[in-house]
């Protein structure tokens, strides 16, 4: 892992950049490529040589049972954990993500399940927390409010009564939307969402899934960690399944159905074929193949 450190990405805040056309060509060179990522905590091996591609303009769902290594993998990308082995390739260059700050500089943002919002602050204050804009050493509320409004509007988040209401008064879906907007406001290119629809009602889940689709339309790479296969099949373009620290499957959504994903999640393999009619010529799910090799490290 002797690599150049992450190149400077512009940290300047800007509304979500629309990058049409980028999504289609994504499969060739993924925005983020993980190769052979290994991570262990003491005697516990959490990740066994995981490969994963996250292309721009696509939603990749990361599935797996509890303890499969989903959050370790996410935190490795987010700069909270360092991989023991393996490489992270960002926009074609090997990078070393040592801290969450490094990740943010590259354009990687994570929305954790607890959302990390301060209930007593309003929407603008939360969106700019830690990156406030100043004007002669005082907070530039006008500029921050304007940017926050633009970002929310570009994501079509229009349900909030006032952008100056405290986050405590928002519904679960609105809070998720604020957390996502906060994540994408900084020229981010990859957004990782941890269980974004857990504990949400039907209508709010709908709103958050629409939001995810909109991120994709803006050309961002999105990774959604979810247990909820309804949501996965609703928004994802690609699926990757982890089982006990191994990546056991990865491929376009068309090569999976619910049973297959459940098989992979619970047992690490599947013998089924996609059952749907009219899906002629679709490739079967990639078996885990090579990733199983070389897992025993000293």
Partner 1 sequence: MARVGDELTSGAELQELPAEEVPEVIDVVAAGAPPELVAQTLGGYLRAWGRRIRGGDSGALPVIFALAVIAVAFEVWTGGLFFSPGNLVNLFEASLVFMTLGMAEIFVLLLGEIDLSAGYVLAVGAGIAGLLVQKPGADLPWWLAVVIALLCTAVTGGLWGTLVARLHLPSFVVTLAGLLIMWGVMLVILGNAGAISISSPILTNQHVLYEFVNGEVPPLAGWIALAVLAAVFGTAVWTRDMGRRRRGLVAPPPGVTLVKIAIAVLAGVAVVAICNVNRGAVTAVVEGVPWVVPIVLAVLFLWMMLLQRTRFGRYVYAIGGNPDAARRAGVSLVRVRTWCFVLAGLTAGFAGIVYLSWQGGTSTNVNGGEYVLYGVAAAVIGGTSLFGGRGKVSQAVLGGLVIGAIYNGLYLQGVQVQWQLIATGGVLLAAVLIDTLSRRGALTGSVTRM
Q: Does 84 sit near partner 1 (CB under 8 A)?
A: no
Strand order from edge to edge, sheet including 32-41: 44-54, 32-41, 85-90, 93-95
Q: Does 116 sit near partner 1 (CB under 8 A)?
A: yes
Cβ at position 76, least distance to partner 1 in Å: 17
Which range of residues in 69-77, 199-207, 231-239, 277-285 is near partner 1 by CB under 8 A?
A: 199-207
> Pairing mode, if any, of strands 238-243 and 85-90?
unpaired
Contact residue for partner 1 among 93, 98, 164, 258 (CB under 8 A): 164
Cβ at position 251, least distance to partner 1 in Å: 26
- Which token pair is 190? 């990859």
Number of residues lying near partner 1 (CB under 8 A): 53
Contact residue for partner 1 among 45, 60, 125, 226 (CB under 8 A): 125
Q: Does 199 sit near partner 1 (CB under 8 A)?
A: no
Q: Tell me whether residue 27 or residue 217 sits nearer to partner 1 (CB atom).
A: 217
Q: Does 169 sit near partner 1 (CB under 8 A)?
A: yes
CA dihedral 126, 90, 241, 83 (to 10 degrees): -90
CB within 8 A of 179, min separation 6: which ones?
Answer: 111, 115, 116, 117
Q: Tell me whether residue 72 or residue 111 sits nearer to partner 1 (CB atom).
A: 111
- Maximum Cα–Cα distance for the chain, whole Å? 65
Report the first-to-last Cα separation within the chain, whole angstroms.
18
Which residues of this protein are in contact with partner 1, per CB under 8 A? 15-16, 18, 20, 100-101, 114, 116-121, 125-126, 129-132, 134, 137-139, 142, 145-146, 149-150, 152-154, 156, 158-165, 168-171, 173-174, 203-204, 206-207, 210, 214, 217
């Amino acid at each position: 892992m002797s690599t150049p450190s992450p190149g400077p990405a512009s940290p300047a805040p800007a509304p979500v950049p629309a990058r049409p056309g980028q999504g289609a060509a994504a499969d060739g060179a993924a925005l983020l490529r993980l190769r052979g990522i290994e991570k262990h905590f003491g005697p516990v091996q959490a990740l066994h040589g995981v490969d994963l591609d996250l292309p721009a303009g696509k939603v990749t769902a990361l599935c797996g049972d509890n303890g499969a290594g989903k959050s370790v993998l996410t935190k490795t990308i987010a700069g909270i954990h360092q991989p023991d082995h393996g490489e992270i390739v960002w926009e074609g260059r090997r990078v070393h993500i040592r801290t969450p700050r490094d990740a943010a500089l590259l354009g990687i943002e994570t929305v954790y399940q607890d959302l990390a919002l301060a209930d007593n602050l309003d929407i603008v204050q939360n969106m700019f927390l830690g990156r406030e804009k100043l004007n002669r050493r005082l907070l530039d509320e006008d500029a921050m409010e304007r940017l926050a409004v633009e970002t929310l509007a570009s994501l079509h988040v229009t349900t909030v009564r006032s952008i100056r209401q405290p986050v405590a008064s928002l519904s679960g879906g609105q809070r998720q939307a604020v957390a996502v907007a906060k994540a994408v406001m900084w020229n981010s290119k990859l957004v990782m969402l941890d269980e974004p629809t857990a504990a949400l009602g039907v209508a709010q889940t709908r709103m958050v899934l629409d939001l995810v689709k909109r991120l994709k339309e803006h050309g961002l790479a999105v990774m959604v960690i979810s247990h909820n296969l309804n949501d996965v099949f609703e928004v994802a373009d690609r699926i990757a399944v982890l089982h006990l620290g191994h990546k056991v499957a990865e491929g376009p959504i068309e090569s999976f159905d619910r049973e297959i994903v459940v098989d992979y999640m619970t047992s690490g393999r599947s013998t089924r074929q996609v059952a749907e009619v009219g899906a002629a010529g679709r490739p079967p799910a990639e078996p885990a193949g090579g990733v199983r090799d070389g897992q025993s490290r000293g």
